[in-house]
Structure 1
């Protein structure tokens, strides 16, 4: 090895080694001194820390003992009690997450009382116009916790066969039976709560019979069949564990009129809600064995009635494009909220999103929409917010709606644009970050050139809570950057607010390399000092990259 090569290797090693020994922030040192005795922290001291500082009021000595045992199993320490280094590594490790991993919402209310993690065109691998259809996106979505899968059903060129494809486009097709089998095999990997399959149905009656047979043979007892044609109330997620539900609106054309699936035409979904036929007329053409498998009926009310009409004897699902929802909320916001107290509202991306981009989900959530359908193969901040919302409730894919979006005794209806008082104040302190060196093959940073990281923090929520992203200063040439920066956010509707966190490397004023992101539902945040895992632009969780942050929530009203 030449002298120059030796120098480069040695210099790179020295830079890495020098930065490996991160000093605990001053707050951590002070906390350790507060709860330690004679330089170490006992199980009793750790329990006291969990209760008094971390806000874990029910923490027991057994909980603290379990943390000790896990730290020893991870070879973080082998002594009797914790020293400062072990305490610091505990705070920055997997044993100290910002959210609970357990399902803790009431799961015994009707489906209409929950937000459901919902996919759009769940079979597409890429764009909406020319990408391939496959079972792989369906599997990925289910393994991520998505609970609503959308399949578009079209007649195949083969007799008595059904394909899944984005109709009237250049996308390829995939066999329906393959999609159904993929759903069966992966439906309950991430969550035991029900999976809803929404069909965009373009089939004549003879093919509906074939689909009915496919469904019953594939799912068997997993398939939920309602006891009556029209439910007066949806069942609860708890009562539907490990069940598959079908939701569709059969097409209105007679059996003899076979639909054409031609390339180049616009998506039918944009005009779906302008259909003048009522749902009863539509379902006249559905054969009985297919119709009886529909657990959630979709469509408009009978002719002449307003789309937000509430039938006391029937519940149903209505679908709107993002643009239609935006238009409706301008004048009918309170009607939409009332409708979603008992019925389901599905919102889907407008047809011009050919690149599989997504829209702002908060408008739909604040009006009670349960199924906010997203292109899960996309990426970007709107999808990050969606993923963040559904990290709540143990990531089971069902999040209980706040009480103010449900029926109230005095019939008051929530208005997201109202001038509300500040309810809570969130203080967020960003201490430091670590892990990029261990994940360098995923984050693509040069090991011999430590980045200049900075953090951006902001709120997504109702209009009065939404903030611009605030940021720390860049820390130059550090694999373990320390910022010690605090941010304060007044919140009027914390129940619907999501905290956005993003790390970038400052390169030049025109170029900032991505370093990680996460979104966290604020009503689920565990207070105190927490290790916050970061994710890639595509939403994959990094193995080691995380921030050490402190969260403090105080009541204002």
Structure 2
């Protein structure tokens, strides 16, 4: 806050405040009458942190400063930074201690300690997991892939606006699989919109342009274009021309080494490449023998909303008969088919059928309700299927408001392409942002080993039955909050904050606990409340921390949240820098917590 005012008042941007600049700023003119020491006192009052002072004094040998050895004890015993903390202690003093005198004494003052705890290194998210730290050379099916549904929509599914902006936003958020619904347009130009609705229409070529321009701005790993094709053969040819002309070398047109492939390539192998996921004539092997018809009849569309309705409303058989009658066989152009290499969309019949007949490059798509049904009836089979092949899950057709399902359920089954409405803020996108905030935000996260190895037979319903099962206990002590934003714009409104910690993971791990609410204090509420969770599949667990404004009579208002994988949490005293509803930061709002993760005895 002080920094912001300083910048505003520093008219000539010289990093200093002269008398004239201070005098010209009304909000700062009161400080003109404060002498130096008074100003510092005023600043100290604003930033007073008794909660941090308690910790500081507990570890300081003289209650004045932390000597380097005091700091080492704190880092080793409290922050669990390992045994050899001497180099880290030196670095932290060098980096965060504002007093040159203290630096010379190899010590840290309270101000330096506060700066360290408020920094990225003092935050709850482990900085070592920020960059790319995972093995990126495994087959694509071994990764969770950040994926968007109806990417062109900015609002709801019925009358919302379609825009290339949707693609730009999703790709800039690290999304690696975008959806393109293609329909016949005027003048032979294919268009993109939500078919049979009042959503506005955009040109297919404009979408391809946007994808070409933004695909690799935040991540160099491959982008999958999930094409929902409702076009006639002529317009499919136009689609293929646009893809080849606009994307050029970025478009993957053949297997990587030009020979028949035996398995899916890795994100590393496919850097800088755009893959098309759509129907394909024949199979990948045939395309090497050059035996191909010009075009072929077949169902081209991938989505199974009809199947969803069948499941939720009607008897299977009667619907299947209606569908058979209503299905006009659509023809597929060879040119578009040739653009499909490693992601051939296929209809799913059963896990058994897949085990015997499926090719590694075939991708099945499920509505969320179909996926849930498979998960209930054959969890281990589903995980096993996903150790070999890509699966896409998308929201049911009934979500006309573009709401999201909870992606965690689908990740529990090892589904890689869990497609969410990126335009809709809330729990679903918080979890997605949280999972993909690690590994360089590159849009690919390696699945746990027990989901990648087919012989492991992991079932999310019974995590305790797997080899190497080791549950953990997570303890979160919620100590205090700092400068939580007002929810209502009303002059006199002050929040009554409470903190809820949610665990999202396998069914056995789903849990929520809350602190008390603190009346009328969003500036520096203090709780010291202890929340404890037992977690059976820590490798899959996500932790979502939510601050709400308590209300006796109506639903609590959202204040801020932060979501991260349990595996990325740092232990000890940590700050949580809160995010707004849409996932952007809201400085200086934070929580101060103490974290412990220990094996369950």
* CA distance, structure 2, for counterparts of residue 250 and residue 150 of structure 1: 17
Cα 1:77–1:114 change in 2 (3 A) is: farther
2:473 aligned residue (400, 425, 428): 425
Partner residue in 2 for 1:144: 173
Moved more, 178-187 or 39-48: 39-48
Partner residue in 2 for 1:492: 536
Partner residue in 2 for 1:233: 263
* CA distance, structure 1, for counterparts of residue 500 and residue 90 of structure 2: 36
**CA shift digits 1:227-263 (9 cap, x unpaired):** 26974311111222222221112599x97999999xx
Partner residue in 2 for 1:402: 448
Say whether residues 1:113 and 2:142 are aligned partners.
yes
* CA distance, structure 1, for counterparts of residue 526 and residue 265 of structure 2: 50
C-alpha deviation, 1:94, in angstroms:
3.7
Cα 1:260–1:245 change in 2 (3 A) is: closer
Cα 1:305–1:491 change in 2 (3 A) is: closer
Cα 1:509–1:195 change in 2 (3 A) is: same
Unaligned runs of 5+ residues in structure 1 are: 1-8, 10-15
Cα 1:188–1:98 change in 2 (3 A) is: farther
Partner residue in 1 for 2:228: 200
Cα 1:111–1:208 change in 2 (3 A) is: same
CA contact (8 A) 2:252 2:339 kept: no
Moved more, 396-405 or 199-208: 199-208
Moved more, 213-222 or 520-529: 213-222
Q: Could you state the TM-score of these two structures normalised by the residue count of structure 2?
A: 0.78
C-alpha deviation, 1:102, in angstroms:
1.4
CA contact (8 A) 1:123 1:136 kept: yes
C-alpha deviation, 1:60, in angstroms:
6.0
Which is richer in helix?
A: 2
Higher RCO, Cα 8 Å, sep 6+: 1
CA contact (8 A) 1:152 1:200 kept: yes
Say whether residues 1:224 and 2:249 are aligned partners.
no
Partner residue in 2 for 1:322: 368
Q: Secondary structure at the match of 2:50?
A: coil
C-alpha deviation, 1:203, in angstroms:
2.1
Q: Could you state the TM-score of these two structures normalised by the residue count of structure 1?
A: 0.84
* CA distance, structure 1, for counterparts of residue 203 and residue 218 of structure 2: 24
CA contact (8 A) 2:297 2:332 kept: no
Unaligned runs of 5+ residues in structure 2 are: 1-29, 31-41, 283-293, 312-319
After superposing on structure 2, the runs of 4+ consecutive aligned residues of structure 1 that deviate more than 6 Å are 16-19, 75-78, 254-261, 271-277
**CA shift digits 1:315-372 (9 cap, x unpaired):** 3111000111122223232221111111001000000000001112222111110011
Partner residue in 1 for 2:124: 98
CA contact (8 A) 2:483 2:522 kept: no
* CA distance, structure 2, for counterparts of residue 95 and residue 242 of structure 1: 32
CA contact (8 A) 1:194 1:237 kept: yes
Cα 1:78–1:333 change in 2 (3 A) is: same
C-alpha deviation, 1:450, in angstroms:
3.7
Q: Secondary structure at the match of 1:415?
A: coil
Count of residues paired in the alignment = 524
Superposed, 1:398-477 pairs within 5 Å as 398-408=444-454, 411-418=455-462, 420=464, 423-436=471-484, 449-477=493-521
Partner residue in 2 for 1:170: 198
Partner residue in 1 for 2:586: 542
Please say which structure displays the higher CA radius of gyration.
2
* CA distance, structure 2, for counterparts of residue 553 and residue 137 of structure 1: 39
Partner residue in 2 for 1:71: 96
Superposed, 1:340-379 pairs within 5 Å as 340-379=386-425
Say whether residues 1:128 and 2:157 are aligned partners.
yes
CA contact (8 A) 1:308 1:335 kept: no
Partner residue in 2 for 1:523: 567
Superposed, 1:3-18 pairs within 5 Å as none
C-alpha deviation, 1:122, in angstroms:
0.5
Question: What is the root-mean-square deviation in Å for CA atoms of aligned residues?
Answer: 3.6
Partner residue in 2 for 1:291: 338
Q: Secondary structure at the match of 1:85?
A: helix
CA contact (8 A) 1:112 1:370 kept: yes
CA contact (8 A) 1:230 1:315 kept: no
C-alpha deviation, 1:424, in angstroms:
0.6
Partner residue in 2 for 1:187: 215
C-alpha deviation, 1:106, in angstroms:
1.4
C-alpha deviation, 1:150, in angstroms:
0.8
**CA shift digits 1:406-463 (9 cap, x unpaired):** 225xx24111111627611111111111133xx66xx555575542211111211111
CA contact (8 A) 2:220 2:272 kept: yes
Q: Secondary structure at the match of 2:393?
A: strand
CA contact (8 A) 1:202 1:250 kept: no
Cα 1:57–1:451 change in 2 (3 A) is: same
CA contact (8 A) 2:497 2:518 kept: yes
